[in-house]
Amino acid sequence: MLRQWCLADMEVLDTAALLAWPLEMLMGGICAESQLDELQRLSPSRHMMLESQGPRFETPNPAAIQTAIEASKETGDFSGLSSVDLDVLALALSTGCTLVTDDYRMQNVCQHRGHPWRGVVQEGVREVRKHALVCVGCGATQTEGENCPDCGSPLNLKRV
């Protein structure tokens, strides 16, 4: 079990919050180091401002990332999460802090795990949904990848 240390007012912030919220709302937040590259690509000026005076940036440990991967595979959301998403999710799950995100897949994983989350500007999920990657050729169900390892056909994400 990962040690949870979140203080009551701390939250793990997804990139949507970093881009949309005023700077004062980001203070005391926790973000993944990998989000800095995303910020640099999306908004170089916001990146510079947040790197110098924004939230705390951390790198999740390998055990926390593995927990995030396993949790996202339980709901079938793994295939739609980027490595940055997994880092952010890992920080939230390992610290016990509320995750602030508008990403449906991340909300779905948190909801499934009973972990607190809230939207940045959107309301968010109302129910947990399970998904699976299903081969369009043979109908096999997979947990990751773009093509079926059995027949080579493309995999489509379907609600289970």
CB 96 within 8 A of CB 10: no
39 and 107 within one domain: yes
Residue 148: inside a domain: yes
Q: What is the chain's alpha carbon radius of gyration, rounded to the nearest angstrom?
A: 17
Cα of 114 vs its chain's centroid, Å: 15
Residues 150 and 81 in one domain: no
Question: pTM of the prediction?
Answer: 0.75
For residue 63, the enclosing domain spans 11-118
Q: Which of 6-10, 40-44, 63-67, 72-76 is the least confident region?
A: 6-10
What are 102-122's pLDDT values in tens digits? 999 999 999 999 999 999 876
Closest Cα to residue 10, out of 31, 30, 24, 25?
30
Question: What does the DSSP 8-state code read for residue 76?
Answer: T
Per residue in 15-37, pLDDT (tens digit) is: 999 998 888 889 889 999 999 99
Map residue 134 onto helix, strand or coil: strand
Residues 106 and 151 in one domain: no
Q: How many domains does the chain have?
A: 2
Alpha-helix residue ranges (DSSP H) falling in 21-151: 23-26, 35-42, 44-53, 62-75, 83-95, 104-113
